[in-house]
Amino acid sequence: MCVSLFRGTWRWSDGSESSFRFSKPQEPSYHDQDCVSAIYQDDSGVSQSMMQAGTLKTIQPSTVYVTGNLILICENMTWMEALSYCQENYMDLVFITEQSTQDLVAQMAQNSTSSHIWLGLRYTCTYDLWFWSGSSADCYQNWAPGQGPPERAYQCGVTGAMLTTEGQQWVGLPERRQLNIICQDCAG
């Protein structure tokens, strides 16, 4: 489950106060940052910070396409900005766990103004695996040749994106690239 922790009096995105913060010694200090995103607990009960702290960016998308519960935002953002934007305004970045969702996302991606779109797919170096930000693990995959497990070794800071043309397959890209996004909402 992803939540957001905001600085000030350190409140969770649901408004409750935070009295406990834990991060690994090698992680950055959050004293001068405005938020920390996507914190979860691993199987041993230790809190793990999945993403770097950063300042939330207010984004006014110029073009939006809506199909069912999917929203294409034709505004370039880093993966962290995209995740924060989707979680703040909808539910999450899109996660694809079946062919029918892949087909719908691929169709929407053709309206994108960037060569790729961000997916809610992230690589973790700690466990050497890919996971969806808003869903449990699933077997459905649509990696481009030479991409994804086990064909390619990835470095930390790589996230999942979909090509907007040529079969709309998935690739791993540095999270600081700026791409259009597809958000997923509960309603639809």
Give 25-69 pLDDT, tens digit per residue. 444 444 443 434 333 334 444 333 333 333 334 445 567 888 889
pTM of the model: 0.64
From 4-8, 52-56, 160-164, the region with the lowest mean pLDDT: 52-56
Nearest by Cα to 184 from 129, 132, 137, 112: 132
Q: What DSSP line would sit under 74-97, residue for residue?
A: EEEE-HHHHHHHHHHHSSEE----
Nearest by Cα to 162 from 124, 125, 123, 107: 107
Tell me the domains of the chain and their CATH numbers: 1-55 (no CATH), 64-184 (3.10.100.10)
Rounded to the nearest angstrom, the gap between the alpha carbon of residue 32 and the centroid of all alpha carbons in its chain is 23
